[in-house]
Structure 1
C-alpha cells in the first residue's frame, strides 16, 4: 500500500520532491528488511523512476545506489547508460559491475566515464588491456596512475604507441614500479620525438638538424636507463633495441665512452652470439685479438675496432683516478680525439662528431657534480 501511494503521488509531485523521494526509496530498498511483495513493489517503483523525465530524479538514484555493492542488474544497466552525472557515482563507487559492461563503457563512453572505469580498484588484466587499446588519453593516464591495477607489458606498449607524446601518460608510466625497462625506453623515445617540434630545438641556437638533436636525446635516455638497471632488465632493453632496429654504432660508442659497460657488454654479447662472460673477458684485454673477434661477430665495421679498443684501454688507465666518473669520461673522450689521425676517426663520419659532443657533455656533467659537491660542503 505504501509503495502504491508513493507511485500515485510521484506522478504529480514537483521535481525537487520527487528527487528526494526517489533517493529515500532507493536507500530503503537497499538497507531496510523488505520481503516478499514489499521488495517486489519497491523494485518495480524504482524501475519506473528510471524513466523519469527529470534528470535530478535519476541523479538521486545514481547517488543512492553508488554506495551499494550489489543492485538489481536491470537498474544498474539503465543507470550506467544514463547521463554522466547519473552513471559516475556507480562507476566511482563500490558497485559490482560486470566486466562486459565496463568494457562496453570504455569503448563507447565519454572521457569522464572512461576515466572513472580506469580508476576503479581491482581492475582485471583484460579490462586494463581494453582500456589501453581503445580508451582516450586521459583514461589511459588514469589507468597507469592506478597503483592497484596489474597491467601487462604488452598493454603498456600499446599505450605508448597511442599516446607516447603525452606528458600526462609519460609521467604516470614513469612513476609505476612495474614498468619493464624496454617499455620505459619506448616511452622516452616517443616523448623525445615530440621535442623535434620544440622552439628551442628549431631555434637558431642549434647548428644541428632537429632529428640529430632528438637522436642524441634518445641515446642519452637509453644510457640513463641502463645505468642502474639489473642484469635481467638490461638484457630486455638490449633485445628491444635490437628487434626495433635501434641498436647502432653511435649508441655503442656512447656506452663505451661514458663507461656504461653493462649496456656495452650485453649489447656485444647479443649481437655477436658470444656469452656475457666471454665478452667481459674480451673487454678486460682490449689490446688482444679476442675483442676484435667479438666486435667483428657483432657486425661492427673493421674501421671502428681500433676506436673501441683504445676507448676501453683509456678507461683502464683512468679507472682508479680519484676523480668523478664524468671527469674520467671526459679524459677518455679527449684521449680518443687526440689520437684522431692514428685511429682514422676522420673517416668515421657520425662517430667523429659524437666524440666531440661526448667530451662536451662529460665536461658539463663533471662540472655539475663538482658544483654539487662544493655546495654540500658549504651546507
Structure 2
C-alpha cells in the first residue's frame, strides 16, 4: 500500500521531491527489511521511475543503487544506457555488469559510454580488447592511464596499429614494460612516417633524402628492439616483419653484423622453413657451402648470399676474439673483401653501402665512448 501511494503521489510531485523520493526508495530497497511482496512492489516502483522525464530523478536513483551487488540487475542495465550523467554511476561502479554487458555497451554506446567503461576500477582483458577495437583517442588514453585495466599484448598491438600516430598514446604505450616487440616496431614506423610528413623537414633536406634517413633510422631501431626483447617474443616479431616486407637483405645484414644472433637465426628459420636447431648449428659451426645453401634456401640471391656467408664467418671469428666490437670488425673486413670487386653494383652495391654506414656509425660511437672515458 505504501508503494501504491508513492506511485500516486509521484505523478503530481515536483522534480526535486521526486528525486529525493527516488533516492530514498533505492536506499530503502537495499538497506531495509522488507517482505518479498514489498520488495517486488518497490522494484516495480523503481522500474517506473526509469521513465521519469527528469534526469535528476533517474540520477538520484542511480546514486542510491548503482554501487550495490544486491540492486535489481534490470535496473542497472537500463541506467547504464541512460544519458551519460545518469549512466556514469552504473557503468563505472556497478558490480552487476558482466564482461559481456560492458563489451556490448562499448560496441553500441558513444564515446562518453566507452570513456566510463575505460575508467572502471578494474577492466578485464576482454573489455579492454573491445575498447582497443572501437575506442577513440580519448577513451584509449583513459584506458592506458588506468592502473586497474588488464590489457593483453594483442590489444596493445591493436592500439598501436590504430592510433600509434597519436603522440600521447604512443608515449603511454612505449612506457609499458609489457608492450610486445611487434607493437614497438609499429610505433617506430609511426614516428618515421610523421617525420617524413613534416613539410619543414622536407624543405630542409629534401623528400628523397628524408625518406632514406627515415628508412635507415627505422631499420636501426628495429635491430635495437630485436636485441632487447625476450626470446619468446622473437618469433612473433619475425613473423610481423616478414608480413610487412621488412626482412630485406639489408635489414638481415644489419642484424647479423650487429650480433643479434638469436633474432637473425629466427629470421632465417622463418624464411627458409628449416628447423631452429639445424639453422643454429649451421650458423655456428657449418662449413661455407652449408651456410650458403641455408641462405639461398631463405631466398637470398647467390651474389648476395656470398656476402652473408663471409659476414657469418667473420662474425664467428670476431665473436671469439673481441666480442665487444663485433660490429666494427665485421663491417670493416667485409668492405675490404668486397668493395673493389666488379660485382659491387646494384643490390650488392646497396648492401655494401649499408655495411659501410654501419661501420662509420660504430666508429663514431667508439670515439664518443673513448672521449667520455678520457674526460672522466
Separation in 2, partners of 1:170, 1:260: 26
Structure 1 SS opposite 2:67: coil
Q: Superposed, which structure 2 residues align to 1:96-135 within 5 Å?
A: 96-120=96-120, 123=123, 126-135=126-135
Match of 1:27? 27
Q: Superposed, which structure 2 residues align to 1:284-299 within 5 Å?
A: 284=284, 288-299=288-299
Q: Superposed, which structure 2 residues align to 1:2-151 within 5 Å?
A: 2-3=2-3, 6-7=6-7, 10-120=10-120, 123=123, 126-143=126-143
Deviates more, 1:223-232 or 1:180-189: 180-189
Task: Describe the superposition over 1:195-253 as per-residue Cα deviations: whole angstroms up to 9, x where unpaired.
Answer: 32235642423674444333323322321221133333222322332344321101101
Q: Superposed, which structure 2 residues align to 1:247-262 within 5 Å?
A: 247-262=247-262
Separation in 1, partners of 2:342, 2:160: 41
Separation in 2, partners of 1:271, 1:47: 63
Q: Superposed, which structure 2 residues align to 1:259-298 within 5 Å?
A: 259-284=259-284, 288-298=288-298
Separation in 2, partners of 1:267, 1:231: 13
Match of 2:340? 341
Structure 1 position 9, deviation (Å): 5.2
The answer to whether the aligner puts 1:226 opposite 2:215 as a matched pair is: no
Task: Describe the superposition over 1:338-371 as per-residue Cα deviations: whole angstroms up to 9, x where unpaired.
Answer: 4411484344243233223323432454456557
Change (3 A) 1:372 1:76: farther
Structure 1 position 74, deviation (Å): 3.2
Separation in 1, partners of 2:126, 2:69: 21
Instruction: Give the count of matched residue pairs.
Output: 374
Change (3 A) 1:343 1:300: farther
The answer to whether the aligner puts 1:308 opposite 2:317 as a matched pair is: no
Structure 1 position 79, deviation (Å): 1.2
Structure 2 SS opposite 1:289: helix
Change (3 A) 1:20 1:369: farther
Aligned-residue CA RMSD (Å): 3.5
Separation in 2, partners of 1:363, 1:246: 26
> Is the CA contact 1:257–1:332 (under 8 Å) kept in the aligned structure 2?
yes
| TM-score, length of structure 2 as denominator length | 0.82
> Is the CA contact 2:255–2:261 (under 8 Å) kept in the aligned structure 1?
yes
> Is the CA contact 2:76–2:96 (under 8 Å) kept in the aligned structure 1?
no
| TM-score, length of structure 1 as denominator length | 0.81
> Is the CA contact 2:62–2:86 (under 8 Å) kept in the aligned structure 1?
yes
Task: Describe the superposition over 1:125-180 as per-residue Cα deviations: whole angstroms up to 9, x where unpaired.
Answer: 54444333333333344445556555555555544443232334434444555554
Q: Which runs of 5+ in 1 are unaligned?
A: none
Task: Describe the superposition over 1:308-338 as per-residue Cα deviations: whole angstroms up to 9, x where unpaired.
Answer: 2343344445446678x4x542343333334
Change (3 A) 1:4 1:277: closer
> Is the CA contact 1:22–1:49 (under 8 Å) kept in the aligned structure 2?
yes
Q: Which runs of 5+ in 2 are unaligned?
A: none
Change (3 A) 1:94 1:269: same
Change (3 A) 1:62 1:374: farther
> Is the CA contact 1:241–1:247 (under 8 Å) kept in the aligned structure 2?
yes
